[in-house]
Structure 1
Amino acid sequence: MVLAKSLRNHNTSRKLVALIGPHVAEPTRQVLHKLYDEVVLVDVLDSGDTAHLALMKRPELGVTFTKLHCWTLTQYSKCVFMDADTLVLANIDELFEREELSAAPDPGWPDCFNSGVFVFRPSNDVYGKLLTHCEEKGSFDGGDQGVLNSYFSNWATEDISKHLPFIYNLSSIAIYSYLPAFKQYGRDAKVVHFLGKVKPWNYTYDAKNKSVKGQSQDPSTLHPNYLLQWWELFSTSVLPLLKEEYGSEPFHSGCETGEEAHDTASKVDAPQAPPPPQISSQERKQKWEQGQADYMGMDSFENIERKLDSFLK
């Protein structure tokens, strides 16, 4: 929602499309419809989806298959994909002058591109080839970035025009690791990318004092202005839309208004889909075998990792 508002505020002339999963609650979908020209439901567990068969062989790539659906938006000739944890700081319509696959280098390994922002041409043919690539080779990093870098393997060496300047995908990791360069070039940033486990919406914002709490947990604290920009946009332009849809139903914004920021700072609880029904171990096993693991819930990577850690300890 904040990403959409930031694009609109900087007068993009392009249509905006949101890809969402089936877990997104209906009131939240209504807000997205107000902000985006199209809201497309992506359900890789739907047996009518070609990604469903790929999941049978590579169940660990469920979230990756969701992202690859952007290539099915064939009603458009060219698109710029942007992760939900990005924020636009200036108009970026000039990215449409680039060709597939244009992206900025990743701060962790510059011969790889970061898949948080990239230019592509929707194509069912490419979509099918990407799924086949996933089935046969998987992902070297367990996610979409590994798949895409493996598929578009000539990005690093073939055409420099497909290397986006870093200002189109400025990450908090880069600010932390090369502060002098950020001081030199950071003022020209057009897109900031909140990489890492802690996202802007995991913080708490005090609207009265215009401050973000909990910044010490994340490298982006070296330049908290981006976090403040994110939260100010959320509190002024997105929160009112959420309140319209949710009404008196409680939801968690992580935001404290001036009236709420008292000694026992009241906070509202998060918009969440209802908890999934409990299933037996046998049912869960069958779902795994059918490629229908609950990637966003009990079968998430974090839960599996936690279980493994408990055994190893």
Structure 2
Amino acid sequence: MKRYAYLTYLGTDDYLTGTLALIEELKNVKSKYPIYVLIANDLGKKTIYQIETIYQIETKAKIIKSQKFKIPNEILEHNNQTGYSRWNRTFEKLQVFWLEQFDKIVMLDSDMLIKSNIDELFEKPSLSAVAAGKDYPGNEKWDNLNSGTMVITPSKLEFTRLIKLIGDDTLGDQDVIQKAYPSWNKNESLHLSDIYNMISGFEAYYVGIKKLKNIKIVHFTHKVKPWKMNKIYRFKYICSLVVRQIIKCNSFLGIKSSIKDFLIYCKICDQCSPKTK
């Protein structure tokens, strides 16, 4: 029997809502494979208690504790000084390569809306991912992978190789993986459609102008996540989205799709928020 699993990473306390929302979404689309959450060792005691007791029972997701490995202080300090401190925690996501108890893993970020079943991703080759947003105006030079959605065949040897590549030129896990696989952008067999990792800010353009249909995953990559927005902030976000997209693509169809997915995601996050438990 094939040992397949979905996996997401909970690296900070304030991502608990996003993690719970992702689990709920995978259940809603009737994914047939188990869901695992890789949790950081230094989460708050309350978060660890919630995810290991209450939510593990309620969601039926399984927990894997992150192994500690040392990131050079100069790299962490460099990120702090250049305004990229939030990427420091993402290095731990590289442990997905360590988990040889699985034959294949579909790794998903915890700030995603899963709109429909994506089990077919397990049939894709290892390191399949999306060069997310490559067709959006201004991104003409972007042709590399986004680590938000990845298909991985774990290998401890590969994990060891990746860890050795962490340096001043790697802000987080995505940079390390890009560095490890410099020819990925030329291997089209590994390129997934944007439907599997649609950057939320680009959705209106892809739907309205590129006529992309059947988007399966929307990725909310902006710094302030929907579950941290109050009603006023969400309203301002929608207004800003409408203005930006009218200027960019002037497509009512695309704007409607983008707003609809944002509101759906907000609703799921609100339902999964620990505050409402």
In the superposition, the TM-score normalised over structure 1's length comes to 0.64
CA shift at 1:65, angstroms? Answer: 2.1
The yes-or-no answer on 1:150 pairing with 2:179 is yes
Larger radius of gyration: 1
Q: 5+ unaligned residues in a row in structure 1: which ranges? A: 44-48, 245-313
Per mean C-alpha deviation after superposition, the further-off stretch among 164-173 and 31-40 is 31-40
User: Contact 2:91–2:172 at 8 Å: present in 1 too?
Assistant: no
Instruction: For 1:112 and 1:130, locate their aligned partners in 2 and report how far apart those are by CA, in whole Å.
Output: 17
Instruction: For 2:182 and 2:60, locate their aligned partners in 1 and report how far apart those are by CA, in whole Å.
Output: 32
Q: Percent identity?
A: 25
Pairing 1:161-180 to 2, within 5 Å after superposition: 161-175=189-203, 180=208
| Counterpart residue number, 1:55 | 72
The yes-or-no answer on 1:91 pairing with 2:117 is yes
CA shift at 1:10, angstroms? Answer: 0.5
Instruction: For 1:57 and 1:131, locate their aligned partners in 2 and report how far apart those are by CA, in whole Å.
Output: 15
| Counterpart residue number, 1:79 | 105
In terms of fraction of residues, the more helix-rich structure is: 2
User: Contact 1:17–1:36 at 8 Å: present in 2 too?
Assistant: no
1:180-208 CA-to-partner distances (Å, cap 9, x unmatched) read 335x11x41000001121211122259xx
The residue matched to 1:167 in structure 2 has which SS?
helix
User: Contact 1:167–1:188 at 8 Å: present in 2 too?
Assistant: yes
Number of equivalent positions: 225
Instruction: For 2:99 and 2:155, locate their aligned partners in 1 and report how far apart those are by CA, in whole Å.
Output: 8
| Counterpart residue number, 1:20 | 39
The residue matched to 2:224 in structure 1 has which SS?
coil
| Counterpart residue number, 1:10 | 29
CA shift at 1:228, angstroms? Answer: 1.3
User: Contact 1:70–1:122 at 8 Å: present in 2 too?
Assistant: yes
User: Contact 1:79–1:96 at 8 Å: present in 2 too?
Assistant: yes
1:190 to 1:152, Cα distance in 2 relative to 1, 3 A: same
| Counterpart residue number, 2:157 | 125
Q: 5+ unaligned residues in a row in structure 2: which ranges? A: 1-19, 80-86, 134-138, 246-254
User: Contact 2:144–2:178 at 8 Å: present in 1 too?
Assistant: yes
| Counterpart residue number, 1:231 | 266
1:64-104 CA-to-partner distances (Å, cap 9, x unmatched) read 32111112222111001111111100000000001111001
| Counterpart residue number, 2:59 | 35
Pairing 1:143-222 to 2, within 5 Å after superposition: 143-158=172-187, 160-175=188-203, 180-181=208-209, 184-185=211-212, 187-205=213-231, 212-216=234-238, 219=241, 222=255
Instruction: For 1:151 and 1:200, locate their aligned partners in 2 and report how far apart those are by CA, in whole Å.
Output: 32
One-letter code aligned to 2:63: V
1:111 to 1:103, Cα distance in 2 relative to 1, 3 A: same
Instruction: For 2:240 and 2:159, locate their aligned partners in 1 and report how far apart those are by CA, in whole Å.
Output: 35
RMSD of aligned alpha carbons? 2.7
1:169-190 CA-to-partner distances (Å, cap 9, x unmatched) read 01123236556335x11x4100
CA shift at 1:234, angstroms? Answer: 3.0
1:20 to 1:205, Cα distance in 2 relative to 1, 3 A: farther
Instruction: For 1:219 and 1:194, locate their aligned partners in 2 and report how far apart those are by CA, in whole Å.
Output: 13
User: Contact 1:103–1:118 at 8 Å: present in 2 too?
Assistant: yes
User: Contact 1:203–1:214 at 8 Å: present in 2 too?
Assistant: no
